[in-house]
Amino acid sequence: MPGGKKVRIAIVGMGIGKPNGRALSGHSKGEVVALCDLDSDRMTEFAKELPGDLKFYTDYKAMCRDPEIDAVFVGTPNQWHVPVALEAIKRDKHVLVTKPLADSERAAKRLVKAAEASGVVNMMSLSTRFGPACSYLSKLSREEYFGELYYARARSVRRSGIPAWNLGFIREGGGAFRDMGVHVLDAAWAILGFPTPETVTGVAGAKFGPRGIHYLRTGSVPRSVARQFKADDYAGGFIRFENGIGLQIESFWASHQPGEFQIELFGTDAGATLSPLTLFRSDGQTPLNTSVDLPRGGEASWNAIADHFITSVLEGKQASAPLRHGLIVQQMMEGLLKSANDGKELRLKIDP
Burial class of 154 by CB neighbour count within 10 A (0 to 12, 13 to 18, 19+) = buried
| Residue showing the smallest CB distance to ligand NAD in the complex | 15
Between 76 and 141, name the residue whose CB sits nearer to ligand NAD: 76
**Count of residues that interact with ligand NAD, criterion CB under 6 A:** 23
Rounded to the nearest 5°, which phi and psi values hold at 144? 60, 30
Supply the minimum distance, in Å, between the C-beta of residue 45 and ligand NAD.
11
Q: Which of 23, 32, 72, 98 binds ligand NAD (CB under 6 A)?
A: 98
The span from the CA of 105 to the CA of 95, in Å, is 19
71-74 and 7-12 strand pairing: parallel
* Residue 350 makes contact with ligand NAD by CB under 6 A: no
Supply the minimum distance, in Å, between the C-beta of residue 14 and ligand NAD.
4
The span from the CA of 163 to the CA of 343, in Å, is 27
Beta partners for residue 32, in sequence order: 9
* Residue 62 makes contact with ligand NAD by CB under 6 A: no
* Residue 63 makes contact with ligand NAD by CB under 6 A: no
Q: Which among 22-30, 34-42, 235-243, 288-296 is the span making contact with ligand NAD, rule CB under 6 A?
A: 34-42
Element housing 186 (H / E): helix 182-191
Q: Which among 37-45, 226-234, 247-255, 317-325 is the span making contact with ligand NAD, rule CB under 6 A?
A: 37-45
Q: Which of 31, 37, 70, 334 binds ligand NAD (CB under 6 A)?
A: 37
Q: Which among 32-40, 105-113, 197-205, 237-245 is the span making contact with ligand NAD, rule CB under 6 A?
A: 32-40
Element housing 56 (H / E): strand 55-57
Q: Which amino acid is at 72?
A: V
In 148-299, where do the E strands start and end?
149-157, 197-205, 234-241, 246-252, 260-267, 271-273, 278-283, 286-291
* Residue 251 makes contact with ligand NAD by CB under 6 A: no
* Residue 186 makes contact with ligand NAD by CB under 6 A: no
What mask of x and - would describe binding to ligand NAD in positions 144 to 183, judged by CB under 6 A? Answer: ---------------------xx------------x----
Q: Do 292 and 279 form a contact (C-beta atoms < 8 A)?
A: yes
* Residue 263 makes contact with ligand NAD by CB under 6 A: no
The span from the CA of 265 to the CA of 334, in Å, is 24
Rounded to the nearest 5°, which phi and psi values hold at 121? -70, 130
Q: Which 74-93 positions form the footprint of ligand NAD (CB under 6 A)?
A: 75-78, 80
Supply the minimum distance, in Å, between the C-beta of residue 244 and ligand NAD.
31
